Amino acid sequence: MKNKGFTLIELLAVIVLLGIVSVIAVVSVIGALDNSKKKIDETTISNVARATELYFQSNYDDLRDACKSGSADCEITTDKLISGGFLSEKPVDSEGTEYYFAIKPVYNSTDGTLSIDTSAENIESIMQQNTLASLIMASSEVKTIQDDDGTSYYYSGENAKNFVKIGNKTFRIIRVNGDGSVRLLYNIADNEGYTITSSKLDEEISRFKSENPEIVSLAINNGKFCENYVDNVPTSISSLSCPSGYIKRTNVWLMSLEEAVLSNNGNNTNADSYIDGCSAASSVTTNRCQRIIIGSYGTAVFYRYSTNDGGSFLRYRNMNNNALFGVVRPVINISGTTLVDRNGNGTESNPYYININ
């Protein structure tokens, strides 16, 4: 009796079975990897939650005093957990990406107590975000310069990926200040802005404050600004140091002339900057779009002037001699540890996002 070979149908059946077994094996491996990653992330979150609770208990009195006074020290951050010995290193997720963590305890003014939510769900929600300063400093877009408080990281050029939304308002990131806070410039569209004459600068700053209380609540109350102290536009900037007599402490003001020059790649040539006020050259005929008020110097103002060919210059005008209409773009300083959504990339279509609800 001859041995019969496999029929075509039998071979196809074997191939199909092998395919099914392979798919099951691959799915099982993927499932195992996913479960492994999930366990790693759960362990990381659990470790951070436990470290946060221990830090909170160990530093309760100091935290309570800070939160009661509204101090910036009313928060627990990754750096504090590490420096205090509560974590050995910065936590990373299962993909190897570092988590930047910051949580604020809640002060109860009625009974003077402090509370904090260290549940795994809350800690995980916070850890899905990054601090604004860490994202900026890690960006390949920024350059560095020294100011009075240390190294500052700043953006320049028209296409800078420095968009950030606070609620439904858009800002451009000027820089991370040397003290770790972040400076933001209110972004305007062609038909939006705080239009002034020379006598109304303070009025328009006040109007911005009154119309945007939730945004102003994020601003550092005693934020450091540098008022312009020269009557000309410098050709180059080597540092952002500010003479002591020109330091202004407030929560909302304007960018400095030096910051404006840096935003234009460090010069005042006919180049593009992210502080230009017009989205198209045809719009520059309107005063609202053509002139962006940078700051004041005595009775004079510096402003960015957009030209019909799409370029722009920084200019200076003494208001004793000429009236000037233009648009104010208010500036605020916020904490560098402010949390932003990890999915943003700083572009106009996908800005960093700060939730204020």
pTM, 2 dp: 0.63
Domain ranges for the chain: 11-127, 143-354
pLDDT per residue as tens digits for the range 249-267: 999 988 888 888 888 776 6
Q: What is the DSSP letter of 285?
A: G
Distance CA(302)–CA(124), nearest Å, equals 46
pLDDT of residue 317: 58
On the CB side of 238, CA atoms within 13 Å amount to 0
DSSP string, 115-146: E----HHHHHHHHTEEEHHHHHHT-TT-EEEE
- Judged against a pLDDT cut of 60, whether residue 318 lies above it is answered with no
pLDDT of residue 79: 76
Percentage with pLDDT > 70 across the chain:
70
Residues whose CB is less than 8 angstroms from the CB of residue 355 and which lie 6 or more positions away in sequence, other chains included? 167, 341
pLDDT per residue as tens digits for the range 10-27: 777 778 888 787 777 666
Residues whose CB is less than 8 angstroms from the CB of residue 173 and which lie 6 or more positions away in sequence, other chains included? 132, 136, 155, 162, 163, 164, 182, 183, 184, 185, 346, 352
Are β-strands 331-334 and 339-341 bridged in parallel, bridged antiparallel, or unpaired? Answer: unpaired
pLDDT per residue as tens digits for the range 43-101: 888 888 999 999 999 999 999 998 888 776 788 887 788 889 998 887 877 766 666 67
